[in-house]
């Protein structure tokens, strides 16, 4: 059909995995912003669409639009509410307009590694976070992992004072603004799709991100080097609209949620390895990776951790305590 041909043409243009949906199938459009390979979210999204298209053939089909080809993260939640897409997986930093609870995940040095993040998310308090936006029409379905964040700039960063006066791109999160101010930086909120150009043109001097994002979007090519700080986390909420989820036949909904749960388990278990592979790929491509001595790392902790106090009320002291217990 003409629609199928148009869908294929769009797929070729955007690199999206188009399924050429059949009549009568529930269409699930999944919009995200990262690359597709060597990336925890990209790989998980591809696996999810493969499984839905195979196992739910005749009932549902999924098209994935990666690399911000359809929406930026600051538009995609509205698009979900409008019914223009059915699935998204923005980082937890991008939900500020809908909930302040996710600020927990942006607080620097809150979690010692991705296993600690996983344990917190799987606690009762973590699981309840999936439901905190229901009254705003959004339903969280699953936490997907990316990994720990690293710092980069157009000059070497070994101690926080190296960041003094530098402009840093941050995601749209006030916690991250406070974090960069705490080290004397000048934070600038910016969409992910604009970061490479902004670094290249000197609109900003530095940024923070995971190995897979720094590799996938080639930030290392336009930075002096990457400092292995592991100071924070980028993780995702796979999210849909309550209205769309409620509109599904029960068997379709159950099968879809089961596949999503299985993909989540499988891919979250691999996220660390995917990031370590991206770290190595950066080095292989000639990127500079700087490791910190314990003393240098402690300086970053001391400079950034006071930010917790500013946001303790939003995230709940009991959650901070629970996270620290998991780290111990
Ligand atoms: C960012 O904006 O840096 C990240 O949230 C991008 C992503 O989806 O990992």
Per residue of the chain (328 residues), give pLDDT as tens: 455 555 555 544 444 445 578 999 999 999 999 999 999 999 999 999 999 999 999 999 999 999 999 999 889 999 999 999 999 999 999 999 999 999 999 999 999 999 999 999 999 999 999 999 999 999 999 999 999 999 999 999 999 999 999 999 999 999 999 999 999 999 999 999 999 999 999 999 999 999 999 999 999 999 999 999 999 999 999 999 999 999 999 999 999 999 999 999 999 999 999 999 999 999 999 999 999 999 999 999 999 999 999 999 999 999 999 999 999 9
pLDDT of residue 261: 98
CA of residue 34 to ligand 1 center, whole Å: 7
d(CA 213, CA 35): 8
**Stated pTM of the model:** 0.93
pLDDT of residue 20: 74
Give the 3-state secondary structure of residue 311: helix
d(CA 161, CA 183): 7
33 lines ligand 1 (CB under 6 A): yes
Task: Tokens for 245, please give them.
Answer: 């989820």
CA of residue 148 to ligand 1 center, whole Å: 12
d(CA 15, CA 36): 9
d(CA 203, CA 80): 31
- For residue 202, what is the DSSP state? T
How far from the centroid of its chain's Cα atoms is residue 200's Cα? 22
213 lines ligand 1 (CB under 6 A): yes
70 lines ligand 1 (CB under 6 A): no
146 lines ligand 1 (CB under 6 A): yes
Long-range contacts of residues 273-276, Cβ cutoff 8 Å, at least 24 apart: 274/38, 274/39, 274/40, 274/43, 274/147, 274/212, 275/40, 275/146, 275/147, 275/148, 275/210, 275/211, 275/212, 276/211
Q: Which atom of ligand 1 is nearest to the CA of 94?
A: 5
209 lines ligand 1 (CB under 6 A): yes
171 lines ligand 1 (CB under 6 A): yes
CA of residue 91 to ligand 1 center, whole Å: 6
d(CA 123, CA 127): 6
179 lines ligand 1 (CB under 6 A): no
152 lines ligand 1 (CB under 6 A): no
CA of residue 1 to ligand 1 center, whole Å: 36
139 lines ligand 1 (CB under 6 A): no
Count CA within 13 A, CB hemisphere, residue 78: 7
Q: Which atom of ligand 1 is nearest to the CA of 89?
A: 8
Mutation choice for ligand 1 from 114, 146, 215, 235, CB with most ligand atoms inside 8 A: 146
- Dihedral pair phi/psi, residue 170, rounded to 5°: -130, 160
Task: Tokens for 167, please give them.
Answer: 């402009």
Work out the angle at residue 241's Cα, subtended by the Cα atoms of residues 194 and 58, and round it to the nearest 5 degrees.
100
- How many other C-beta atoms lie within 10 A of the C-beta of residue 138? 25
Paired strand residues for 89: none
- For residue 168, what is the DSSP state? E
| C-alpha dihedral, 171 to 235 to 275 to 327, nearest 10° | 110
- For residue 155, what is the DSSP state? S
53 lines ligand 1 (CB under 6 A): no
Mutation choice for ligand 1 from 234, 239, 274, CB with most ligand atoms inside 8 A: 234
211 lines ligand 1 (CB under 6 A): no
Instruction: Give helix then strand counts, H and E, for the chain.
Output: 14, 10
């Amino acid at each position: 059909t003409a629609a199928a041909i148009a869908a294929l043409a769009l797929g070729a243009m955007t690199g999206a995995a188009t399924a050429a949906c059949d009549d009568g199938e529930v269409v699930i459009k999944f919009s995200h912003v990262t690359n597709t390979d060597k990336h925890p979210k990209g790989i998980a999204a591809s696996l999810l669409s493969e499984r839905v298209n195979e196992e739910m053939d005749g009932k549902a089909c999924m098209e994935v639009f990666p690399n911000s080809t359809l929406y930026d993260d600051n538009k995609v939640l509205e698009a979900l509410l409008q019914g223009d897409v059915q699935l998204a997986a923005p980082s937890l930093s991008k939900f500020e307009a809908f909930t302040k609870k996710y600020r927990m995940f942006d607080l620097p040095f809150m979690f010692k590694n991705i296993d600690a993040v996983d344990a917190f998310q799987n606690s009762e308090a973590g699981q309840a976070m999936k439901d905190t936006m229901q009254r705003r029409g959004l339903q969280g379905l699953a936490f997907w992992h990316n990994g720990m964040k690293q710092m980069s700039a157009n000059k070497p960063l070994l101690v926080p004072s190296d960041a003094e006066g530098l402009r840093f791109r941050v995601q749209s999160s006030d916690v991250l603004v406070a974090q960069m101010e705490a080290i004397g930086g000048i934070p600038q909120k910016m969409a992910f799709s604009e970061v490479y150009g902004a670094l290249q043109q000197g609109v900003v001097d530095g940024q923070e991100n995971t190995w897979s994002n720094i590799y996938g979007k080639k930030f290392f090519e336009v930075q002096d080097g990457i400092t292995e700080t592991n100071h924070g986390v980028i993780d995702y909420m796979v999210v849909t609209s309550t209205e769309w989820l409620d509109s599904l036949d029960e068997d379709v909904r159950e099968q879809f949620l089961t596949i999503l749960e299985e993909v989540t388990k499988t891919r979250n278990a691999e996220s660390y390895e995917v990031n370590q592979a991206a770290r190595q790929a950066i080095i292989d491509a000639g990127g500079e990776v700087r490791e910190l001595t314990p003393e240098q790392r402690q300086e970053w902790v001391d400079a950034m951790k006071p930010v917790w106090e500013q946001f303790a009320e939003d995230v709940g002291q009991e959650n901070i305590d629970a996270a620290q217990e998991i780290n111990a």
